[in-house]
Structure 1
Amino acid sequence: MVVLQLFCMLLILRQGLADVVTSTTESPTRINGGQRVNETVPFQVSLQMQRRGRWQHFCGGSIVSGQHVLTAAHCMEKMKVEDVSVVVGTLNWKAGGLRHRLVTKHVHPQYSMNPRIINDIALVKVTPPFRLERSDISTILIGGSDRIGEKVPVRLTGWGSTSPSTSSATLPDQLQALNYRTISNEDCNQKGFRVTRNEICALAVQGQGACVGDSGGPLIRPGKQPHLVGIVSYGSSTCAQGRPDVYTRVSSFLPYISQVINQDLAQ
């Protein structure tokens, strides 16, 4: 069984931010696909926490309503809402964009990491509401209940580490993207994981994949109407070394997402 690694900056933050290096240097070994994003990704957010007097990116997320971000449960489980902010409308997590404070968080009530990771999904509500009239800020469609199968083209975006090691993280300032394909859950299990029906796996060539800092971020099925199909959840103990990336399957949680949003907006 491969050692699991939650792709969340929190695991690095526990060791201290002195281990984290941020860089915009071009590198052929960039883990998250080797492709810098130059066009707006209006639904992409950076979840940030304050450490030593400055804001630090630790997870990604997706705008799914005028006040809600969808992310991973392991990103928010142990966080206080007053310690986290959401930055939107920028390709650079360190500069530009609009910062929103959190009002509340909703971690899936059946989220668990033992004996396996399940229900790794959470929503946070922000204030003020997102300025959806801007061209660089918008919601992403969460699609229907159809299950995505294998060999489906998908796209990951995030500010995850550009180093395969999880003992230190090299976070790019600029948003990165990776285009790759899903694999079947059976294939994923044969490669050392224990995924459930509520998860999706994707696999690229060695040297490409999700890593620390990508947690909670979007996996999109591109097309005329791009829609959100996955939430970055976990992978192997070293990133992008030929093992699959595991995502929470959004289509499995549509009733939960709708319930949380409707309850929040009714208050």
Structure 2
Amino acid sequence: MVALVWGAKVKSMMCGGSIISVRHVLTAAHCIDPLVENGKLIETTRGVVGSNQWKATEDVVKFSHFKNHPSWDFVRLKNDIGVLFLVEPLVLSARIGVVSLSFDWVDGDVPSYVTGWGRLGADLTSITWILFPFADNLQLINLKTMSPRGCGEALAVASGAGIRLDSELEICTFHSIGHGLCYGDSGSPLIVRATGAQAGVASWALPCARGFPDVYVRLSAYRHFLLDILQNY
């Protein structure tokens, strides 16, 4: 697990990510966009690895460049996947490891889990939004995937959703009201419990855990994109 942070004197939490090789970190494309100026990563962009605390000061890595999916659509939030390239290859250890990627189709009711340092909640009912702090320690939630039909129907009735599910490109999960993705969890890996392999990347939700599904990029739809990077870059 990787915490994507930025800032010269004070680090700010941005998103999560996963180590998919000693040179590559997988995350959501919308997590990379705010870290880019004039086509290049902001100099203070960093990744915290090997720790369950995003504020940790050891094992902080730098990135040289990035590659978002060529069909990334920031308006529709589709193809929301990108890779950050490390300046130096990681040294693997008991605390720093590479996650396996699953390109198999994942249907509904599959036991999974997601980890992240996202905000611990938010109150969006008032005129002034109240955002709870980011989690200091890495959080983990066990959940199950939803069938494409069930997720599509649930999102269709969500007030103000505005974004339609594309089941060929996206996977959904749901736990319960008050338990799910929040700001800062984007880019985090969805792991299939039976195999320990990553099947999705946290993309979007109706924050925070308001009783509707959370949506992830479906890795099975991006096999060519990811293997091309891993094999050729």
TM-score (norm 2): 0.88
Q: Which residue of 1 aligns with 2:49?
A: 88
Give the CA deviation at 1:208: 0.3
Q: Which residue of 2 aligns with 1:192?
A: 155
Q: Which residue of 2 aligns with 1:178?
A: 141
For residue 107 of structure 2, the aligned residue among 130, 149, 168 is 149
Size of the aligned set, in residue pairs, is 215
Give the CA deviation at 1:170: 1.3
For residue 235 of structure 1, the aligned residue among 205, 209, 213 is 205
Rounded Cα–Cα distance in structure 1 between residues aligned with 2:177 and 2:142: 14
What is the aligned-residue identity percentage?
33
> In the alignment, is residue 204 of structure 1 matched against residue 175 of structure 2?
yes
Contact 2:108 2:147 in 1 (8 A): yes
Contact 1:185 1:200 in 2 (8 A): yes
> In the alignment, is residue 122 of structure 1 matched against residue 56 of structure 2?
no
Rounded Cα–Cα distance in structure 1 between residues aligned with 2:214 and 2:32: 20
Partner SS state of residue 220, structure 1 = strand
Rounded Cα–Cα distance in structure 1 between residues aligned with 2:174 and 2:122: 15
Give the CA deviation at 1:191: 1.4
Give the CA deviation at 1:187: 1.3
Q: Which residue of 2 aligns with 1:32?
A: none
Q: Which has the higher contact order (CA 8 A, sep 6+)?
A: 1
Contact 2:190 2:199 in 1 (8 A): yes
Q: Which residue of 2 aligns with 1:136?
A: 95
> In the alignment, is residue 221 of structure 1 matched against residue 192 of structure 2?
yes
Residue ranges of structure 1 left out of the alignment (5+ in a row): 1-43
Q: Which residue of 1 aligns with 2:3?
A: 46
For residue 162 of structure 1, the aligned residue among 98, 120, 126 is 120
> In the alignment, is residue 252 of structure 1 matched against residue 221 of structure 2?
yes
Rounded Cα–Cα distance in structure 2 between residues aligned with 1:245 and 1:165: 18
Rounded Cα–Cα distance in structure 1 between residues aligned with 2:91 and 2:188: 20
> In the alignment, is residue 74 of structure 1 matched against residue 30 of structure 2?
yes
Change (3 A) 1:165 1:130: farther
Contact 2:27 2:81 in 1 (8 A): yes
Give the CA deviation at 1:54: 1.1
Q: Which residue of 2 aligns with 1:111?
A: 72
Partner SS state of residue 219, structure 1 = strand
Give the CA deviation at 1:156: 0.6
Contact 2:169 2:217 in 1 (8 A): yes
Give the CA deviation at 1:79: 1.8
Partner SS state of residue 75, structure 1 = helix
Cα offsets for 1:182-221 (capped at 9, x unmatched): 1112111111251111100000111100100001011100
Give the CA deviation at 1:96: 4.7
TM-score (norm 1): 0.77
Residue ranges of structure 2 left out of the alignment (5+ in a row): 157-163
CA RMSD of aligned residues (A): 1.4
Rounded Cα–Cα distance in structure 2 between residues aligned with 1:165 and 1:125: 36
